[in-house]
């Protein structure tokens, strides 16, 4: 038995002793249709080390170095990688929601989660005159100063990771516009954790 297999087998054997069930684990992969193309996400990215170093090198948003807190806002659920993969398959793949990258374009150019869309946090700031058009693209019905969010898309929002705050800014701007917190989830791990896990990363902006 290979060492990695032995470790895995030993871990599974110890789960009951720690009160963990084997079904608390999820497959670290996903396959779904996005914009008419098949997207596959899996571990074992051969460039994982390069991406992990790239995202780890990002300067933190505050000094001294700090980390974003777990909840981004009240009633906004914080989700892990398994929930993100499930969301991509079950929601994005069915055209019922969006995986949203809150970074500015230069940040997204460093690599992003396949199947995600770019929605920089500044685009839904209150002082952006095009904010209503952005909200309409998210399924919000806008009439003059009235907003109806009943058909608004379900969203999972992410950014570069725990040392950054673009996702919190976007979530704050969405909530300020009236977006229901129950329709927003926050992937705190972002690209920093995603890359360390060796999951698929896309860099082609086309």
Domains of the chain: 26-196 (3.40.250.10)
Give 145's pLDDT tier (boundaries 50, 70, 90).
confident
Cα–Cα distances (Å) from 180 to 104, 110, 126, 171, 176, in that order, read: 23, 30, 16, 10, 10
- The token pair that represents 154 in the structure block: 């379900």
The rounded percent of the chain whose pLDDT value lies above 70 is 85
pTM of this prediction? 0.85
156: β partners = 99, 185
Backbone angles phi, psi at 199, to 5 degrees: -80, 160
Handedness of CA 31, 154, 198, 110 (dihedral sign): positive
pLDDT higher than 50, residue 22:
no
Residue scoring higher pLDDT (28 or 150): 150
pLDDT higher than 50, residue 80:
yes
Cα separation, 179 vs 199, in Å, equals 30
């Amino acid at each position: 038995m290979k060492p990695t297999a032995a470790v895995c087998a030993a871990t599974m054997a110890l789960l009951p002793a720690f009160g963990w069930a084997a079904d608390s684990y999820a497959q670290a992969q996903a396959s779904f249709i996005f914009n008419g193309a098949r997207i596959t996400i899996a571990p074992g990215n051969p460039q994982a080390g390069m991406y992990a170093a790239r995202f780890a090198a990002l300067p933190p948003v505050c000094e001294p170095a700090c980390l974003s807190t777990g909840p981004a806002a009240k009633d906004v659920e914080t989700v892990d990688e398994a929930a993100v993969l499930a969301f991509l398959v079950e929601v994005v793949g069915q055209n019922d929601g969006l995986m949203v990258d809150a970074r500015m374009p230069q940040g997204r150019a460093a690599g992003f989660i396949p199947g995600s869309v770019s929605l920089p946090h500044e685009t839904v700031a209150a002082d952006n005159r095009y904010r209503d058009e952005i909200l309409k693209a998210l399924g919000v019905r806008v009439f003059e100063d009235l907003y109806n969010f009943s058909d608004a898309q379900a969203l999972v929002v992410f950014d570069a990771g725990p040392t950054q705050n673009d996702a919190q800014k976007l979530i704050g701007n969405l909530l300020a516009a009236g977006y229901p917190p129950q329709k927003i989830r926050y992937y705190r791990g972002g690209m920093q954790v995603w890359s360390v896990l060796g999951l698929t990363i896309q860099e082609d902006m086309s």
